[in-house]
Amino acid sequence: MDAIISLMLHPRLTTRFAANDDSSGWFDPVYPLTLFFAFGIYTVVQKYHKKHNSPIPFQYSIPEQANPEWKGQVIPDANIGSHTENTELSSLFPIADRKFITAFDPATGLHLATVSADTADDIAHKIDLAKEAQETWRYTTFTQRRRVVRTLMKWLVDNQDACARIACRDTGKTLIDAALGEILTTCSKMEWLINHGEKALRPERPLHNSWSPILAGIFAGNGVVLKCSENVIWSSAWFVGAIQEALRVCGHDPELVQLVCCYPEDAQALTRSPEIKHITFIGSEPVGKIIAQDAAVNLTPVTLELGGKDPAIILPNTDLEKWSSVLMRGVFQNMGQNCIGIERILVQEDQYDALYEILSDRVKKLRTGSVLTPSAEGYIPTIDCGSMVNGSRFDGLAKVIHDAEEAGCQVEGVGDSAGKEYQHQHLTNGYYFTPTIVGSVTKDMDIANIELFAPIALLMPYETIDDAVDIANGTRYGLGASVFGPDQDECLAVAKQLECGMVSVNDFGVFYVSLPLHLPFGGVKSSGYGRFGGPEGLRALTNPKAIVIDRFPRIVQTSIPKVLDYPLRSLFWSWYFTSGLVKFLYGDRWRTRIAGLLSVYRASKQ
């Protein structure tokens, strides 16, 4: 501070000479004092903003199950109902007529927890808690909401290793998949809310992973009730707990966010509740239809992000080696359990053999396993692909691949288990499916029309670009897509013909990550309707209200002209006034408008 004051009082800045020659130089204190006070005001403002905007550090305990060295009980053939088959998992829960859910690591079969499933009464109580907390939260400022999001963002960045390990433990995915699909995308959405959320929600003249809908919901001033999948209750409870703790340390009611986990037959207590004002559902098409029907009982708005069969069109003369890594990531990230994962790769006939060779060679080298299972030497092996969430669809996947092979398709994968469940040498209780490539697939095959949601790459040859577009649009789905080619303009022309909600050109899934202008996310056809993310998604979580006021109320205010006042004095002059007003406002020529203005004036004098 002394150095700053000295600088402001430097003679070169402060000396000025009098206007007449006989005056001597003197120090004018106004200039340095002005700078001093300006700096003081700036400092006060900065301290104010720091006090009200800076994230608040908080501690949130990490469960021991997240430690790779953790040893738990192994459940053979683990499923969410394993507690009913194994008394060791249910002996601690003797409550009659109470349902429970077994949480387990699908990569190892390790028991994580046995959790009480919510009943209809539990769900109604949680809705009431969120509703009560929202009565206060709705009046918070955007500055207060941004601080909660900043607090969560700092916590997530500081604890990303623990968050990734917890996601891996409950879903079987790899650390890289957790980092890209969970942490990076969530941070991206939080950054967009911080920088642009207020602009999307503030009044205008005239006139969108479990965290994503929660963050958007609370930023829009809502309370949130999250219904998670029964397969991820363990990690979901921990992540929601972190949000509640962030709300608490920022001085708000943590009950604003509630977590519900129940069996499907009990979910109507949530989807048919008159207290729920908006539903965002991410999942399968059959369940989405049920939710839409339930929501119709109370005319509850619904955003549905359902299945996908996303195509990647490889245009003629594309550098296949250049884009092969993007294709591999698009298909095999998170073992294909990705709503916007690439399920169909369409390649021109002349380049089909080359691409099949490139991809099949890389697929055979993929390593499958668990990143939370250290080797005997104590190190964690490098894993490309994790496990599936469960094994309930393995028989169906194997059948549809077998049918395609019988119809003449090429099938290749790791070892001799291509297109089948992968029997891991060490992790015998994990749910693994062999990364597989299926070639020469035609558009009429079941495998080309059913959402696989699995580590399976389909190669479909086409003859002309029109054929490629026809194949790409040939399913009932329309979520995302990719177009690759040497000419971006040609790629764009093809992208515009695709029936889907989002397209990446020479890339995969970038529409899911925040850009300078965050993009709305959603599909068309059987992939659902509505959008989350971006201004459109954020506004969908609000009920817009139009308020009309006089701009200069002290000068002029809206009133009813006497010629239009009830009871009408004269039908002739009333019509003369209104017809003249229409001419004045909307006439196509100045002569018509002037004539209309004269009619208005004349009628108003009657």
What six digits make up the tokens of 102? 């077994």
Place of tokens 């007003």: 581
Integer angstrom CA distances of residue 147 from 151, 238, 332, 516:
6, 21, 36, 21
Per-residue exposure over 19-54, b if at least 16 CB sit within 10 Å of its own CB, e if not: eeeeeeeeeeeeebeebbeeeeeeeeeeeeeeeeee
Place of tokens 């002037």: 594
Is-catalytic flag, 305? yes
> Which conformational region is residue 258 in: left (phi greater than 0), alpha (psi within -120 to 50 degrees), or beta?
beta
State the catalytic residue, choosing from 230, 305, 343, 451: 305
Count of beta carbons in the 10 Å neighbourhood of residue 597: 16
Place of tokens 């206060």: 136
Q: How far apart are CA 269 and CA 228, in angstroms?
A: 14
Q: What are the two backbone dihedrals, phi and then psi, of residue 341, each rounded to the nearest 5 degrees?
A: -70, 150
What six digits make up the tokens of 552? 């200069």
Q: How far apart are CA 261 and CA 127, in angstroms?
A: 13
Place of tokens 């239809």: 289
**Do 230 and 112 form a contact (C-beta atoms < 8 A)?**
no
Three-state SS at 35: helix
Place of tokens 């949601």: 453
Counting Cα atoms < 13 Å in the Cβ hemisphere of 233 gives 21
Strands (E), 319-394: 344-348
Q: Active-site residue numbers? A: 305
